[in-house]
Amino acid sequence: MSAIDFPDDLLALERSAWEAQQAGTLTSEQAAAVQARVTAFAAEQGLDRYQVEMELKRAVRHPESD
């Protein structure tokens, strides 16, 4: 499990973006929406944005390692 407790909306955004990336259909708008939510969440929680992004990607792309 990730050390960060991600909200469901952020996990859903990242999952959708990851699926789109794998399918070759990721849009810049979709990527920007994820980035904006990551940035907002990091600021809300007082966390480093880079660390939030890395943990989020790990939680979505490699859930078995949690």
Cα(36)–Cα(65) distance, rounded to whole angstroms?
Answer: 26
* pLDDT per residue as tens, the chain (66 positions): 468 999 999 999 999 999 999 999 999 999 999 999 999 999 999 999 999 999 999 999 998 766
Cα(26)–Cα(16) distance, rounded to whole angstroms?
Answer: 9
Contacting residues for 58 by C-beta, under 8 A, at least 6 apart? 2, 65, 66
State the pTM of this model: 0.89
CA-based nearest residue to 20, from 33, 7, 8, 36: 33
